[in-house]
Amino acid sequence: MTIEELPTPGVHGGGCGCGGHDGDEPTIDATAIPHRLRHAAVLGAAGSMNAGESFIIRAPHLPRPLLAQIMQLPGEWTFEVLVDGPEYWDVRTTRVSL
């Protein structure tokens, strides 16, 4: 079956048609993502954010290198440490503008 042949349900909730919606700030738990995929997964999520949207990165350490990579994406970004270790760090990541 090709992608074109897949059944397409009516759009409900979010624009993808899955029926879900993004009511709360999503959290990406990087501790649950294999190490070699972490940065790519988080950068992909960051790239999908619209101006004014935010998500939380949960990491096993303060993710300074990853935050520096996010800063290289288009737009203006802000970061707020919500949980400062020692078991994990939560960082609110907000795309202020595109």
In terms of C-beta density within 10 A (0-12 exposed, 13-18 middle, 19 or more buried), how is residue 39 classed?
middle
The model's pLDDT over 58-84, given as tens digits with 9 standing for 90+, comes to 999 999 999 999 999 999 999 999 999
pLDDT at 11: 47
Residues of the chain predicted below pLDDT 50: 11-13
Distance CA 59, CA 28 (A): 9
Residues 47, 75 contacting (CB under 8 angstroms): no
Q: Which fold has domain 25-97?
A: Translation Initiation Factor IF3 (3.30.110)
Distance CA 5, CA 74 (A): 35
Q: Is the dihedral of CA 84, 86, 90, 93 positive or negative?
A: positive
pTM higher than 0.85, yes or no?
Answer: no
